[in-house]
Structure formats: structure tokens, C-alpha cells
Amino acid sequence: MSLIEKGKISRIISVDTGGTFTDFLFFDNGHLKSLKIPSTPADPAEAVLEGINTLLGQPAKNYILLHGSTVSTNTVLERTGARVKLITNSGFEDIIEIGRQNRPQLYKLVGHRLPPLVSRNDRQGIPGRIGPSGDILEQLDANDLRELPQCLEDAESIAIVLLHSYANPEHEIQVEASISSLGIPVSVSANLLPEYREYERTSTTVTNAYIAPKMAAYLTRLEHESQAERVNLMGSNGGSLPVTRAALEPVHTLLSGPAGGVIGALAWSKKGGHDHIISFDMGGTSTDVSLCPGTLTHTTEFEIGGQAVAVPVLDIHTVGSGGGSLARMDPGGALKVGPQSAGADPGPICYGKGGEGVTVTDAHVWLGHLPTDGLLAGSTSLERSTIEPHLQYIASSLGCGLEEAAQGILKIADSTMERALRVISVEKGYDPSGFSLVAFGGAGGLHAASLADRLGAAKAIIPPLPGLLSAYGILSADITRETSKTVLIPSSRAEAQQDINTIFLGLEKAITNEMESEGINRESLILERWVEARYEGQSFELRVPGASWVSTFHTLHEERYGYQLSDQPVLAVTLRSVASAPGPEFELNLLQESSNSPKSTLTRVFLDGQWTEVKRIQRENLSPGYELPGPLVITEYSSTTWIPPNYRVMVDQWGSLHLTRIQ
């Protein structure tokens, strides 16, 4: 059975909280409604609750709330989390500070690294030791355990990380029991990440403890005041998770919103027959990109705010370039764009909220790519005249005209985003010409053609409701749960496969029971087995499917690195079991074809050194089969798409726009 029991709930609200806007999709008895309202960074719940009340009225009843949240992300980036105390083995209190000793700035004599989330004085070492095979080398001291609560009284959250707890969690269980009377949130590494590599496990557990109190308070309020029948959070791995687990393990929500965008991009592109895509999500403050070579790509090598987080996440690369990115002159007289952003308040100058820094959005408005009545179906009027004095300062500094300065801002923003796209494609051995660039976010359509051109992508695709695609991905995502265990089993062992199968069965039993306790029907679950493997002596693993994992690893290793060692054993490092259940069931209708030409008006755009009138079309007036040459401005509620002169646009049966270069 899906998330929605047929006949009981037919309304779902999907919410994605962004830096500038909070986006809503409302699935109401077979119909989709959309809404965008300004975010409330000081209290993100305010915008979420306001949007729910706007869509449903009060009291809001009989609906499910699906949410992509930025609370955990911002808590880490802004360093506004709880005071954490770390309990670890004596002598290993500084693991979280030593890290991997990687130099953050390679060519600086003295590099700068952000401090850990737990201070040196808040790290408590205790005697006791478990070996890598799970043997108890030194028992915990009962007196030390009795004294622990007194040492932790001023903590707001606690992280427990002991050596080799992935092999035997007994000591961590004892420590947790000894401090249970404190009533403080506790993060236990054996529950959160039962995998080896003590630094990554420590950093992940501390990060979870750091954000848990704020996330729990936010979700408790949201669950209570939203009055939803059920609340699910978008997880960083591309699947949703229940609110209770999100509150206990918020580290799984650090890429909550961006993950929804990748899910939505792949879902829409597959409808049109394109499964090799590069998702390009350009919002107000940042741009998120991800490579999907037929399927989602995951990684456990993830870092946020200087903190390593080793839980599985979608492989997303983020740069500080968005519609709200600020342009400025650096001390050397060069034009810079981002990563600083105007955010939701005051926002771009053209919003009329007192902004003074010229943004990427302001540049588009000045050049005519974004008409002044083109935002949110004209409900928000943009003020072009207020941009001029601020843009004039940049133009005077550069010794050029206003239009040339605006074009320069866009070219620099494009360069930043192009580098991000090459990081996830060319630098990983993929030829962009075999991929389609799926552009979305409020500003994605304004840069889609230029970036597809720069990257050499086959085409650019703008899905329907591009400014709300993350909300669509959250709406359509499966419910997932992952569990893992480090095993370090070489393929040369006589009973290796038998041992691996036995461990997988144990993981699957545990994960199935957990999801069933959360209200998911056991029969609806789809189970996947993954092995993270490497050649013995290597430092990092490749993730391969559990079936025929040895031969698959050899093949993948050759694809990735150009060679394989087929005569050497492969080491199964970590086994990972993934369970998923279908998300909400809903259908979207195909668009009806039309033989009539789309209605259009004219708008002025600065093009080839002069102001030119070009066609402007509302997207809802486009029907499948239309093929129109640029230059062209396509406006809609959640976004605007700019088609330059060297591109044409074709509309498919689902309403997606396909942008291809005119030969």
C-alpha cells in the first residue's frame, strides 16, 4: 500500500523551503495547485504554516504534509545548533579535530579549517576498549559510568562514539543507559552509522547531536500546528522518512530540498524518454547540480560547513550562484558575482524591499529577459527603475554601459555554474554531449540555453512548474530506509558469500520491522542490496549491487579508473540494505495538441547591442508539437525561460520544453 490509503486521504501538500521562496504543490482529488510565498528565514515554520492555511483554510484537516526542510542545513552552516558533549574513548578525544589531516588550502603555508561542532572542553574520554573484531579488550568501569551524568549536566545534546562500535555496540549501549536519566537528546554512533572510519563516524554523530534539538522543536511545532494526518520529511538520499525518525536522526535531512529537485528532474525527464540527465537547480541563493546516468547517484563522501557526514546522500554539487547572488567590485577592480546573496529579505533591488546590491535577477530584469510583470503571474510587480543607480556604479567602475555591465554579471554567473556542471560530468569521465540538461528552480530557465551551449549538452529541458520542481520531487518520492554494517570480508574467504547473505538477511529483517512499525505495509517494500567494495590495500570503496558484486566491482573499477585487477580478491567493506515503499499515487494527464498558433505579445530585450522587440508567450498557451525559434521569452507562474536567437524550443506531450541549438 502506498503512503495514502485509498478512500481515506486524497489531499497532499508538498512544501520545499528555499532561501528566497517557499514552494507549495497541493494535490487535491486529482488536481495540482501551486503556490509560492516569500520564505521567513528567521522562523521557516511561519511560511510553511501560512502557505498551508492559504491552500486549505482553517481548520486544515484530512491531508498529508510532505516537507523538504532547510532547518538542519542552516543550523550547521550558521553554527546555531546545540551545545554538544562528546563521550568517546580516553585518548581519542581529538579525533574530530585531527580529522584526515587534509590541507583545506593546498598552497597556503597556514591553512584555515572551521572548528569542530564540539569544543575541546566538551569532549569526555572514558576507559574501556573494544577491538576491531568486536572483542572486549577492556571493560567499562562502573564508577566512571556512575559519574558521567554529573559531567554532562550543562549539555544540550550528547554524542556517544566509541571505537569499533560497528563490530560490537555493547559499550555504547551501556553508556547510553547510564545517562538516560538526564532527559537530554542522545545520538549513538552504533545506531546512526555502524560503519568503520572513526573520524567520519564521530563527525556524523556529533553533527546529528548538534542539530537534533532545533530540528525536533521545529518538527514538533510543525506537526502540531499543521494538523496534518501525517508528516514526512524529504531525506538526503532521495526518499522520504517519517517525522519521528527525522527528529531523532536529522543528519539524514541535510540535503532535503536539493534531493527533491533531483528526484523531480529525473521523474519528468523519464516521461519524455530521457534518463541520462544533468539536473540544474538554480534558486535564489545557490545552484545545485547532479549527474544522473540513467539512475540516481549516491555518495557517502559528503561535507557541509566543514563537517564530514558519512550517511548516504544524493551526489549533489552546490555553488553559491543564484538569482539573488550579489555583484560587486573586488579590491583589484574585477567584477565578482556571489556567493553572497540578497536572500529573501531584502531580496533583489527590483523586488522593491530596499535592496541595494545588484543581483543576477536584477541583471535579467534590466536586459528584458525577465519582464517586470513576469513574476508569480504578475501578482508581484518588479521595479526596473530602482536598479539603475546601483547598476550605474558597477558600469562606471568597469568603464562600460549599463547593458554591458548587466551582461557581464550574467556571464560571470554562467561561468561559476558551468564549472559546477563540469565537476560532476567531465571530471568524472562523462561526456556532456550524451546528457540533457534539466533546468529548474526560479532562475533555471533563464540560464538553461547558455549553459547547455557552454557545456556541450545534447539539449536543455525545462519541465512543467520548474520553480516548484523540488516540491514535485518531494511529492513523488518513495519512502526509504537504509541500514548498513561494516564487515571487511574478502572474496577469497571460503564462505564469504554465505556470510554476506546471512548479514544481509539480518539487516533486511531489522529494516523491514522498523518500517512496518512506522505504518508501512511489509508487502509493499522493495529491498535492494548494495556492497561497498575495494581491492585490498585501497583506501576508498565503490558501491556495487549485491548480486555478483565481485565481477561487477571489477567492471566498474575499470570504467572508473581504466584498469582492473581481476586476479586479486575484492574486499567487501560495508553492506548496505535499502528498503523502499511507493510514495503517493497520483496521475498527470497528457496535454492536448492544438493546430492553432500560440497567442503572443511583444516585449523589449537587449540583444546584439540594441533593444529589440521579441515574442513573449505564456507557457499555458503552448501545446505539444509546437516548435518555435528564438529569440523568445516564455513566462509562467513559477519561472521564466529565455530562448536566445541561436536556439529553438519544442513542446512534448507532457508540457516539457526542449531547447536545442539551431545548426
Dihedral sign computed on CA atoms, order 552, 556, 559, 564: negative
Distance CA 32, CA 588 (A): 9
Closest CA to 448 of 464, 432, 461, 467: 461
pLDDT of residue 170: 96
pLDDT of residue 286: 86
State pLDDT tens for residues 124-141: 999 999 999 999 999 999
pLDDT of residue 106: 78
CB 257 within 8 A of CB 440: no
Tell me phi and psi for residue 344, to 5 degrees.
-85, -25
Tell me phi and psi for residue 661, to 5 degrees.
-75, 140
| 68: three-class secondary structure by DSSP | strand
State pLDDT tens for residues 518-570: 788 888 899 999 999 999 989 889 999 999 999 999 999 998 888 999 999 99
Closest CA to 359 of 406, 304, 305: 406
Most confident stretch, 109-118, 266-275, 386-395, 515-524: 386-395
Helix (H), strand (E) at residue 35: strand 31-38
Closest CA to 374 of 617, 34, 26, 658: 617
Is the pLDDT assigned to residue 291 strictly greater than 90? yes
Mean pLDDT of 264-291: 91
| Residues 6 or more apart in contact with residue 333 via CB below 8 angstroms | 397
Per-residue confidence band for 596, with pLDDT thresholds at 50, 70 and 90: confident
Mean pLDDT of 456-482: 91
- In three-state form (DSSP H/G/I as H, E/B as E, the rest C), the secondary structure along 544-577 is EECCCHHHHHHHHHHHHHCCCCCCCCEEEEEEEE
Q: Of residues 60 and 440, which shows the higher confidence score? A: 440
- In three-state form (DSSP H/G/I as H, E/B as E, the rest C), the secondary structure along 457-503 is CCEEEECCCHHHHHHHHHHHCCEEEEEEEEEEEECCCCCHHHHHHHH
Per-residue confidence band for 586, with pLDDT thresholds at 50, 70 and 90: low
Closest CA to 284 of 368, 388, 362: 362
Domains in the chain, CATH or no CATH each: 11-76+215-253 (3.30.420.40), 79-210 (3.40.50), 260-319+413-476 (3.30.420.40), 325-412 (no CATH), 480-581 (3.30.1490), 601-661 (no CATH)
pLDDT of residue 5: 41
Q: 4-8, 168-172, 596-600, 645-649 — which is least confidently predicted? A: 4-8
Cell 560530468 belongs to which residue? 425
DSSP 8-state symbol, 39: -
pLDDT of residue 2: 37
Distances in Å between the Cα of 605 and the Cα atoms of 245, 317, 400, 403, 631 are: 50, 32, 19, 10, 9
Distances in Å between the Cα of 24 and the Cα atoms of 309, 483, 558 are: 29, 31, 44
Tally of CB atoms within 10 A around 521 = 12
Is the pLDDT assigned to residue 8 strictly greater than 70? no
Most confident stretch, 87-101, 302-316, 389-403: 389-403
Strand order in the sheet with 157-160: 123-126, 84-89, 157-160, 186-188
**H helices present in 399-440, as ranges:** 402-424
**H helices present in 16-83, as ranges:** 44-56, 71-78
DSSP 8-state symbol, 236: T
Share of the chain above pLDDT 90, in %: 69
Cell 572508473 belongs to which residue? 560
pLDDT of residue 587: 66
Tally of CB atoms within 10 A around 145 = 17
Amino acid at site 104: P
State pLDDT tens for residues 425-464: 998 889 999 999 999 998 999 999 999 999 999 999 999 9
Class of residue 143 by CB neighbours under 10 A (exposed 0-12, middle 13-18, buried 19+): exposed
Half-sphere exposure (Cβ direction) of 521: Cα atoms closer than 13 Å: 9
Closest CA to 124 of 163, 159, 172: 159
The structure's pTM equals: 0.88
Is the pLDDT assigned to residue 590 strictly greater than 90? no
Mean pLDDT of 227-235: 92
Distances in Å between the Cα of 227 and the Cα atoms of 353, 414, 582 are: 33, 43, 24
pLDDT of residue 9: 56
Class of residue 502 by CB neighbours under 10 A (exposed 0-12, middle 13-18, buried 19+): exposed
CA 660 to chain CA mean position, Å: 28
Rounded to the nearest integer, the mean pLDDT of the chain is: 91
Percent helix / strand / coil, the chain, rounded to 5: 35, 30, 40
List the beta bridge partners of residue 158. Answer: 85, 186
Q: 19-28, 207-216, 217-226 — which is least confidently predicted? A: 19-28
Is the pLDDT assigned to residue 6 strictly greater than 70? no
> Quick one: cell of 511?
529494516
Q: 351-355, 376-380, 413-417 — which is least confidently predicted? A: 376-380
CB 307 within 8 A of CB 202: no
Mean pLDDT of 308-336: 92
